[in-house]
Amino acid sequence: MIRTKEDEIYNRVKNNVGFDKSKRFIKWQHENYPNKEVHHLAGSFTGIKTSDYFSMPVMREEHLHAEKNKSQFCVDNLHIYLRIFFEYVKDCEKELAKRGK
């Protein structure tokens, strides 16, 4: 049910992020943020997690908070997610450059 502007944004995002899996991105998050858990910002559809590429590391308390109000947490933390995802992309590009590709 859409109640707020955040709910509307969240539903649009959730309906478009897909279900891509990336063990490499999840592993990268665990390695670079070892004291944090991975949270899928767009949650799940009937128990199937949405794209791993739309996840970010969070502290346990943040994870619990996120589960209480997924829409608000997603919208409030998009800027942090983007910074982390761009960090990952840059690391991937550095790795490719090392390999000469």
Helix (H, G, I), strand (E, B) or coil at 36: coil
Instruction: Give the pLDDT band of residue 43 (cuts 50, 70, 90).
Output: confident
Instruction: Give the pLDDT band of residue 1 (cuts 50, 70, 90).
Output: low
pLDDT value of residue 101: 64
The CA distance from 31 to 48, in Å, is: 24
Residue whose C-alpha is closest to residue 51's, from 26, 33, 73: 26
Q: What pLDDT, in 10s, does the model give residues 46-81?
A: 788 999 999 999 999 999 999 999 999 999 999 999
> Does 100 score more than 90 pLDDT?
no
- pTM score of the predicted model: 0.88
> Residue 55: beta bridge partners?
40
Kindly give the residue spans of alpha helices, DSSP state H, lying in the chain: 5-14, 23-32, 60-68, 70-76, 78-98
